[in-house]
Amino acid sequence: MALSGLPAKTGLLLGLCVLWLCCASTAGEASCKLKAKFNLNGYKNVEKKKVVIGGMFAVHNRLISSDSNTSSVPVSSGCEWFNFRTFRWTQTMLFAINEINERNDLLPNTDLGYVIYDSCFTISKAVEGTLTYLTGQDEAVPNYRCGNGAPLAALVGAGGCDLSIATARILGLYYFPQVSYSSSCSVLESRFQYPTFLRTIPSDEHQSVAMAQLVLRFGWTWVGTIASDDDYGKYGIKRFKEVVEEAGVCISFSEVLPKFTSPESIQRIVRTVTESTAKIVVVFSSDVDLSPLIGELVRNNVTNRTWIASESWVTSALVASQPDIHSVLGGTLGFAIQRAEIPGLQEHLLKIDPYQDALTEEFWETAFNCTLSYSKALRNTRSLRASREAGNGTGSQASVRGTPDGLCSGKEKLQSLSSTYSDVSQLRLTYNVYKAVYAVAYALHNLEYCMPGKGPFQGGSCANISNFEPWQLMYYLKNLRFNVPHTGEEIFFNDGEVTGFYEILNWQRNSDGSVKYSHIGFYNSTAPAGEKLTIDNTSIIWNNDVLQTPRSVCSERCQPGTRMGIRQGEPVCCFDCIPCADGEISNTTDARGCIQCEEDYWSNANRDACVAKTIEFLDFGEALGITLIAIAVFGALLTVVVVVVFLMYLNTPLVQVNDPLLSFTLLLGLVITFLCSIVFLGEPRPWSCMTSQVALAVGFAIVLSSLMGKSALLMLRARAVKAAKAAAKAAKEAAAASEQSPDTTVIAPAPPPKNDIDPIKPSQQRIMMIICTLIQAVACTVWLILLPPHPVKNTAAQNIKIILECDPGNIIFICSVFGYDVLLALIAFMFAFVARKLEDHFSEGKCVTFGMLVFFIVWISFVPAYLSTRGKFMVAVQIFAILASSFGLLMCIFLPKCYVLLVKPERNKEEMMITRPKLRDSKTTGASASSASLSTEANGNGTTISTVSVDD
């Protein structure tokens, strides 16, 4: 029953009691009469007793079903399903009271009596017993104490949490002490609602936290929970969930055991346990409520689960004695309250008189499966005989005149039974009952031996042991401190509570196949944080007799390098492990997110650490760098060789044909371009970035402006040759016309005067080259002053590398500088292209044209290659383009000249350098012929000047 229903039910019962007719006076004596009868079983001994202690135990497990629509006097239902364990607790209270009465040091002048009722594990019976106990008669009269017997001291009980809550609400109205031995639910901690409730069992607040710490200790993050449908189960599992969920543990399923056996509900819970992937199941329940579920689990062979048991069933024989239990519950871990040995208890249990009272008779008959009633045994025998005769059965028949079948003799030996009742190996709740009785006794002892004038009450007064009020005893209970006999344990109540100390037990198998409760650790709520839970992992034997700790997770833990990706609509413990992206890491297990590496760092292969990025540049010492240096040096040396050859043949016509100084500046520019490519290698520095770019721009400016000067002269010569050819063609046509008209006198045109076809002088060529080079030099100077090239770390091109490269500083400047070189190249190419058909034995115009074509092809190919590469290979492509274009110009322009100078010196003559038009073969007739002759004159500087003359 839920807590919310308790006030209503209790109020209903009290309301019914108000209807009872009570206190009718007759002959000066008060008498009380009840409209209904309570059916209570138990023990009672109040005659000639000084003080009476009450007790409440669930000797039976449930009420007998009855028809509520009755025409007779209503009597409350009886009880069934006798419980040997709780009957032992009842006998323990009797044993403790007898032991106290026999002592001389504790209440020596006070003989304790007792009134003990069976609560039948139901609230209604607990309330009936409480009202009857308060009234002092077998018929309960609310608010009245009928009779003048011994004063009532306290109630020991009433068993389960629901029962204690119901009784505590009633007893609290009268400030009547209640000392519980098994009601551990945390709701009873409220002194506002339950002002007189005390207990010798720790609150479930400690047990729930201890269970949670156990789950966290073994790293289980995916667990199922089962709780009984009462305050014990609900509040216990609720607190457990709060602690574990705060620590990141998820609940796979949460089931509630029905208070009354329901096969459908039990089967549904078994299916839930079977279908769940959780390997850990936490159970907060009493053994009575759990027993049907365990039986169903055994029948369905539900194994491979580890069960976490609450103290209420961890050592219960009702659960542990079920057949084949070890296959299901083997390896169970559970929390048990403190265990103790009580000398003399077993002897007391074994020597009880079966005819003492109704409860003992029922125990005896249930234990030995017989009856103590002769008439009942006789009826059973006659019934059996009749059934055999009706069925034509054969076999021995019991004589009616002899001893009937199934009759107990009353002399059976309890020692021969292997039952929970006589098992004193696990006295835990039994020990709590023992402590509760002694707590009341010591409080009464302190009350009886109060020193007048030094008492705790008004004016230093003391209470009278023969006539005290419940609230006076409550004072002594709250301030009690004593040592339990035989064990020496110190007991005191901290606002009604005791410290939370639990043994941790592991269900292991005995040699005979029975359950062995092995001690593997303990939990102490008073220990410092981090030291409360102590477990010896090596001594644990898990389910199926394995030593390896089971795993219970919805998803495996995410290792470093991954992050947790929550699955939509599922608990947070169910997730996917997603690898961190490039450049991100996670260095912890079950990381919620990945960490971005700093700019100069990158994630390693496992993505669990940031490592420094590889710094990349084209180094001098690597193979590619050495190869490029060798090629550049070779090109520069080859250029120097050409310079030497030209110096050796400086005065020859071939060298002098087109301004040798421009040839030397051209070679100088090529040397610069070859050598500046080396500066591109190595780690970029501010000086190297500026030097490489500027040297390249200026070097090519020298080369291209020199070529432009040479090509300009060649172009003018080509135009002169073209003009000469046109004049020759006109003369030829005039001569032909005169031959066809003999009568006509044709006056031949006068030969044109000799024309100087080299209008640009060498000095003009040199000025042109110097001006074009200076323009580039000035532009580069402005570039270096305003926004010079500088080294940068390129982290965007490649994720795992830092590319050290030169930043041009400003895209406008670099485009302007190298665009100017492209302009010079285009002008030089156009000049050379015009002069490509200029005929002489050297064909310099063709060489320059072809060289410029190589230059353009190289740089046009360079652009896509440069854009498609990264890092040091980009620098290599740039150097290769510089070297290829330089080699192309060197080979195309100077190789033919060197070939003539060194291999064909006979062609190095002045007449071979004469520029002449290419004339077609023509027929000459009779008296007239046209001829063209080329003559050369040397100007004052020794430069050959070509002239064209046409003769008749």
168-209, pLDDT tens digit by residue?
999 999 999 999 999 999 999 999 999 999 999 999 999 999
> 204-336+500-535: CATH homologous superfamily?
Response regulator (3.40.50.2300)
* 699 half-sphere exposure, CB direction, 13 A CA radius: 23
Dihedral over Cα of 866, 869, 872, 873: its sign? negative
690-711 mean pLDDT: 88
Asked if 581 and 587 touch (Cβ cutoff 8 Å), the reply is no
Q: What is d(CA 113, CA 150) in angstroms, rounded to the nearest whole number? A: 8
The predicted-structure confidence for 767-814, as pLDDT tens digits, reads as follows 988 999 999 899 999 988 888 888 888 877 777 888 888 888 888 888
- Give the percent of the chain with pLDDT over 90: 45
Q: Which pairing describes strands 306-309 and 333-336: parallel, antiparallel, or unpaired?
A: parallel
Q: Which of 268-277, 393-402, 675-684, 911-920 has the highest mean pLDDT?
A: 268-277
507 or 72, greater pLDDT: 507
Predicted local distance difference test score (pLDDT) of residue 521: 96
> Can you read off the two tokens belonging to residue 678?
């080396």
Weakest mean pLDDT among 178-187, 265-274, 425-434, 559-568: 559-568
850 or 381, greater pLDDT: 850
832 or 674, greater pLDDT: 674
The predicted-structure confidence for 554-565, as pLDDT tens digits, reads as follows 888 889 999 988
pLDDT higher than 70, residue 747: no
- Residues sharing a CB contact under 8 Å with residue 44, sequence separation 6 or more, in sequence order: 114, 115, 116
385-410 mean pLDDT: 63
Asked if 334 and 308 touch (Cβ cutoff 8 Å), the reply is yes
Smallest CA-to-CA distance from 93 within 342, 433, 491 is with 433
Q: What is the CATH number of domain 623-727+761-789+803-912?
A: 1.20.1070.10
Predicted local distance difference test score (pLDDT) of residue 719: 77
Predicted local distance difference test score (pLDDT) of residue 267: 94
CATH of 37-64+78-201+343-373+418-492, one of 3.40.710.10, 3.90.1010.10, 3.40.50.2000, 3.40.50.2300: 3.40.50.2300
Q: What is d(CA 813, CA 780) in angstroms, rounded to the nearest whole number? A: 8
The predicted-structure confidence for 445-459, as pLDDT tens digits, reads as follows 999 999 999 999 998
Separation of CA 113 from chain center:
62
Predicted local distance difference test score (pLDDT) of residue 27: 36
Smallest CA-to-CA distance from 272 within 257, 292, 287, 288 is with 257
Q: Domain boundaries in the chain?
A: 37-64+78-201+343-373+418-492, 204-336+500-535, 562-614, 623-727+761-789+803-912
pLDDT higher than 70, residue 35: no
Position 948 confidence tier, pLDDT thresholds 50, 70, 90: very low
Position 651 confidence tier, pLDDT thresholds 50, 70, 90: confident
CATH of 562-614, one of 2.70.98, 2.10.50, 1.10.150, 3.30.70: 2.10.50
Q: What is d(CA 307, CA 326) in angstroms, rounded to the nearest whole number? A: 12
Q: Which pairing describes strands 931-938 and 944-951: parallel, antiparallel, or unpaired?
A: antiparallel
429 or 145, greater pLDDT: 429
Average pLDDT, whole number, for the chain? 83
Predicted local distance difference test score (pLDDT) of residue 314: 94
Predicted local distance difference test score (pLDDT) of residue 657: 76
Residue 793 φ/ψ, nearest 5 degrees: -100, 115
Predicted local distance difference test score (pLDDT) of residue 203: 95
**Beta-carbon neighbour count of residue 909 at 10 Å?**
13
Q: What is d(CA 925, CA 907) in angstroms, rounded to the nearest whole number? A: 35
Weakest mean pLDDT among 586-600, 718-732, 918-932: 918-932
- Residues sharing a CB contact under 8 Å with residue 645, sequence separation 6 or more, in sequence order: 898, 901, 902
- Residues sharing a CB contact under 8 Å with residue 368, sequence separation 6 or more, in sequence order: 408, 412, 417
Domains 562-614 and 623-727+761-789+803-912 agree in fold: no
Q: What is d(CA 639, CA 703) in angstroms, rounded to the nearest whole number? A: 13
301-329 mean pLDDT: 92
pLDDT higher than 90, residue 759: no
Q: What is d(CA 351, CA 344) in angstroms, rounded to the nearest whole number? A: 11
Beta bridge partners of 118: 57
Predicted local distance difference test score (pLDDT) of residue 915: 54
Position 919 confidence tier, pLDDT thresholds 50, 70, 90: very low
Predicted local distance difference test score (pLDDT) of residue 417: 85
pLDDT higher than 70, residue 30: no
Q: Which residues of 88-101 are buried (b: 16+ CB within 10 A; e: fewer)?
A: bbbbbbbbbbebbb
Length of the chain: 952
pLDDT higher than 70, residue 914: no
Q: What is d(CA 152, CA 52) in angstroms, rounded to the nearest whole number? A: 5
Distances in Å between the alpha carbon of 326 and those of 123, 299, 435, 759? 34, 13, 33, 119
Q: What is d(CA 572, CA 37) in angstroms, rounded to the nearest whole number? A: 56
pLDDT higher than 50, residue 754: no
Asked if 285 and 313 touch (Cβ cutoff 8 Å), the reply is yes
Beta bridge partners of 56: 117
pLDDT higher than 90, residue 103: yes
